[in-house]
Structure 1
Amino acid sequence: MYKQLILLGILSTLLNAASQAENVDWAIHSDQIYPGDGSGPVSGVLVLDNGRVRLLADGLPGDMVPARTLRAMGQIVAPGFIDPHTHACADFAEQKDNLNANYLTQGVTTVFCSNDGGGPVEVGQTLDNYQQWGIGTNVALFIGHGSVRNAVLGKEDRAPTATELTQMQQLVGQAMQQGALGLSSGLFYVPGSYASAEEVIALAKVAAGYGGIYDSHIRDESSYNIGLLASVDEVIQVAQEANIPAHISHIKALGVDVWGQSRQVIEKIDHAREQGLAITANQYPWRASGTSLIAALVPAWAREGGHAALLTRLRDPAQLGRIRHAMQDNLRRRGGAQALLIVDTSDLLAKGHTLAELAKSSSRSEIETALALIKLGDVRVASFNMADEDIVAFMRQGWVMTASDGSQGHPRKFGSFPKKYADFVRDGQVISLTDFIHRSSALTASTFGLSGRGRLASGMAADVLIFDPGTYRPLADFSEPERLSEGVSWLWVNGKVAIEKGQLSGIKAGQMLRGSGSKTP
């Protein structure tokens, strides 16, 4: 009888313990966990449950029972990366798979779209569509200044009337209420290039009223018009007069005329930050930018009215002469015809060749060769126009985060984050692994107000990356720009497995992330 009572007591204790146990989804053990906040690495266990980080601790609590356990010793565990400047949404459509695999395989769990002043004006409906279709990554949108201007003014090179400016402000306000992160601009591109700083400030004030940010492809990254340094001053002016955080997209010193000016740019931004302005930037880790041949070479005045209007001007001998002259100087500014690689065009024979090679093979001048390509329509180029010293100088700044600016035909769309790690962390040792992770996750989240993302901490969204420090690298290059990166072992998006043992799962678990303005009464 006594033994039976003892057995009953043991059984009761076990049943009671079982009833008090907490079931969780995942327990990930590693000796290389980077929380994303600039600390680490730490050794311990990361627990995920119900789409959230349950805890990060030295060991698994005795009352937790994980459905799955993963031992990732020697591998890097980090928050999923956040890319603040992409053109990924151009790939999304109702009938596509929308997995966004080229970003998932870089370890990116969140992408921002509608950069450079573009994108849809109807932000809320667009996000609703994406959620309905299913997207592999989280998505956030800006409201594009160029799109707003185009909706009200078209591509006219003039200032808005008071009534038109009010209409533009109303469109920005509506977009902010629908969840836009802030106002983006592309002041180098038509029609953004036609806007004054005062126009931008008036719209940025609206975004600021909803807690938004101003994100800018600045007016001139080179010496095309007002120059690099004056363009940085303009961003600082917008931040100051609109009382808004400002972010410079893909910061660079583009072209031979401004190589070495990174030092002066850094001094300007540091001074503004010391004065209390929230100025930040992003950067992609490539010497070559990606743009259209038209944007690279044709002056802005000749692009007014769109491609059809440009073709009309090219048929006018007087205007053609002016255009040729401007194109010649722009070609010099870009580093010459050998620095422009054709990466996407309807002329398949031209693809993969430099403008210099095409000119030589056709026995035409470089400008005539460029004009022949431009007449075909949209021609994308990789423009090798940056100096290594400037790239490194910008990368070392604590306010510069990682981005891709992924565009068609450029390998940055498929390999920017692993390239930065492989070239500038593992091999070049320009920045530390801790800084690389912080500037690819938590820094971006805090800058753009994504309070529930970017860190491995209790309650945060379970966007989690595991990569092999020895094999994480890009496979895409300029000859094969669409090869998926390798080295990501595991990836979770909102607690769902997007990559398992290096293989894409096909699960589309992305959520649409709305800015604080959508919560404003």
Structure 2
Amino acid sequence: MSIVRLLPLYAVLLCGCTTAPFEPQKSVDILIQSGLVFTGQEQKLKQLDIGVCGNTICEIHPSGTHNVKAKTIINAQGLIVSPGFIDPHTHSLSELKSSDKNANLNYLTQGVTTVVNGNDGGGTYKITPLVQQLTTQGIGTNTAFFVGHGSVRKAVMGKAKRAATQAEISEMQSLVEHAMQAGALGFSSGLYYVPQTYADTQEVIALAKIAAKYGGIYETHLRDEGTFSIGIVQAAKEAITIAKSAQLPLHIAHIKALGVDAWGQSVAVIKLIELARHNGLRITADQYPWLASGTKLHNAIMPKWAMADSKQAFYQRLNSAKLQARLHHEIAESLRMRGGPKALLITECKSTQYVGKTLAEVANMLAMSPIDAAIQLVQQGDVRVASFNMAESDLTAFMTQPWVVTSSDGTNGHPRKFASFAQKYHQYVKEKKWLTLTEYLNRSTTLTANILGLDNRGKIKLGFAADITIFDPNTFQGEADYQHWDAISKGVHTVIVNGKIAVHNTIHTNALGGQVLLKNN
């Protein structure tokens, strides 16, 4: 054998290698280098390099250990790299359907790559045409849907204040089944709201059973989050009964103890849920990190019986001389439980001079009682309020439960729409330290994906969808408040949605990488 032919073997022996001395260079579309990565599979953050090929995560290696060529390189040194945040409770469908806000920028700038719609029982049963519309025009974040109790009840019964007949229940079941077959994640209810509040427990069980048939979950805004009807503890018991009877997981929306009479009842609710979980029922919840809720004024303080049938009938009752004594008594009690007219801040109203003022201040402007002012306001169209009605001790108690994830319940007029994920990190992880960083990340990504059944989201894992958020742990925080509710959050460096860079160096790229996520039946 010649000396020339022996040289390669000699070189291998000298370097002590047992494999080929040169690793072939791999090629990816995007390479994220040197970031501290939360993979969703381990508690510790690790310094890793992540490669994205098309819409998929295709490379994960300890930083600097592999020879990778990339079309785009993102330097994430000093930054946190996480699966894209998932918001299980939004009201973002109108933006996604629009031609100018479909990028969903208020969520992208919080690091959110997936939003869920159809909560509170409002989700349409006409899933397929909605999917076609959003797919055709393009959306900035992923979205998924619940089919809603309110939608199917209105379709079958309108706003009738009565129990459903068996024939009507069967018709509602058919609509729910149609939506589940089309890819809904599950069945949602809002038993606090008209007309769902008129339904009995058995009606809800019958509809939830259809979602169970397709592996869906039951998501609910409880019949009472305070002391307005049956009480928060009894409402939680009802939700547990529904899930247990229908044999499907229960997810409680924006869990809270709402109103002065309910403060402290988080302890009893947590105990009840823990017992049910111990007995084998899968129960989870989500929560927004604010002490004020947000809703429409009529939903907050007007009696449910007054809102039956139609808007015209509602207004007639509000103006009925015979009903004034009853209305005033019940509205006064609702106001008391919410902390009084000074605790209701008008955030959206046709009469813009009232925006940013409390109901007490508006009543003073109108030279009438807060009750009469409220009756007048709700007849001018939808009025949204921020209702300062929660105690921080209850907020803490719920937030620190391992089965409670992050959400926004984002609505106009409330900073939760623009800042919930950023607010929770800055105030409750960084400053108050109620949660560790990994607890926060898990409850904004991996755990949420598991709850919703999004099988290839919520983790930095080979083969998973490339939904990735990169943020600066030193600057990530919300800028929105109750006076400036639509201020964009800061500190998110890069957001990737299905392999497309939507935000880079804090700048929106105008990419529309979102997809409609449908449940595989």
Q: TM-score range by the shorter chain?
A: over 0.9
1:482 match: 486
2:264 equivalent among 248, 260, 263: 260
Residue 65 of structure 1 corresponds to: 69
CA gap 1:38/1:324 in 2 versus in 1, 3 angstroms: farther
SS of equivalent to 1:443: helix
**Which residue pairs with 2:205 in the alignment?**
201
Q: Which residue of 2 aligns with 1:510?
A: 514
- Structure 1 CA distance for aligned equivalents of residues 171 and 365 of structure 2: 51
Deviation at 1:91, TM superposition (A): 2.0
Gaps of 5+ in 1: 8-15
Cα offset, 1:375, TM superposition: 1.5
Partner in structure 2 of residue 150 of structure 1: 154
Mean alpha-carbon deviation: is it higher for 302-311 or for 436-445? 302-311
Q: 1:395 is matched with which residue?
A: 399
Distance 2:332 2:190 in 1: 23
Pick aligned residue for 1:93 from 76, 97, 111: 97
| Deviation by residue 1:251-281 (Cα, 9 ceiling, x = unmatched) | 0000011100001111000100000000000
Q: Which residue of the partner structure matches residue 36 of structure 2?
A: 32
Q: Residue 322 of structure 2: which of 318, 322, 327 is its match? A: 318
Which residue of 2 is the match for residue 438 of structure 1? 442
Q: Distance in 2 between matches of 1:235 and 1:264?
A: 15
Cα distance, 1:94 vs. partner?
5.2
Q: Deviations over 1:477-505 (max 9, x none)?
A: 11111111111001100010000100000
Deviation at 1:17, TM superposition (A): 10
Describe how 1:69-218 pairs up with structure 2 within 5 A: 69-93=73-97, 95-218=99-222
Cα deviation, residue 191, structure 1 = 0.8
Please say if residues 292 and 378 of structure 1, whose CA atoms lie closer than 8 Å, have aligned partners that are also in contact: yes
Deviates further, 382-391 or 370-379: 370-379
Corresponding residue number in structure 1 for 2:416: 412
> For residue 175 of structure 1, what is the amino acid of its counterpart?
A
Shift of 1:64: 3.0
Q: 2:460, 2:38 → 1: CA distance?
A: 8
- Between 158-167 and 234-243, the greater mean CA deviation after superposition: 158-167
Residue identity matched to 2:514: G
Q: Distance in 2 between matches of 1:38 and 1:402?
A: 19
Equivalent AA in structure 2 for residue 308 of structure 1: Q
- SS class of match (2:479): coil
1:34 offset after TM fit, Å? 0.9
Secondary structure of the equivalent of 1:291?
Answer: strand
Q: Do the aligned partners of 2:95 and 2:101 also contact (CA within 8 Å) in 1?
A: no
Unaligned runs of 5+ in 2: 8-19
Q: 8 Å contact 1:254–1:386 — kept in the other structure?
A: yes
Shift of 1:18: 10
Q: Does 1:471 align with 2:475?
A: yes
Task: Kindly indicate whether residue 503 of structure 2 is the aligned counterpart of residue 499 of structure 1.
Answer: yes
Deviates more, 1:484-493 or 1:301-310: 301-310
Q: Could you tell me how far 1:43 is from its partner in structure 2?
A: 1.4
Structure 1 residue 316: Cα displacement? 1.4
**Cα contact 2:86–2:113 (8 A) shared by 1:** yes
1:366 to 370, 374, 383: 370
Counterpart AA for 1:299:
P
CA-CA distance at 1:63 after TM superposition: 4.9
Give CA deviations for 1:383-420 in whole Å, capped at 9, x if unaligned.
Answer: 00000000000000000000000011111000000000
CA distance in 2, matches of 1:97, 1:237: 40
SS at match of 2:251: strand
Aligned residue runs from structure 1 range 33-48, under 5 A: 33-37=37-41, 39-48=43-52
Q: Is the CA contact (8 Å cut-off) linking 2:102 and 2:139 kept in structure 1?
A: yes
SS at match of 1:158: coil
Task: Measure, in 2, the Cα distance between the counterparts of 1:17 and 1:307.
Answer: 77
Question: CA contact under 8 A between 2:23 and 2:67: conserved in structure 1?
Answer: no
Report if the CA contact (8 A) 1:345-1:380 is conserved. yes
Matched, 1:338 2:339: no
Count residues in correspondence. Answer: 510
Deviates more, 1:358-367 or 1:469-478: 358-367
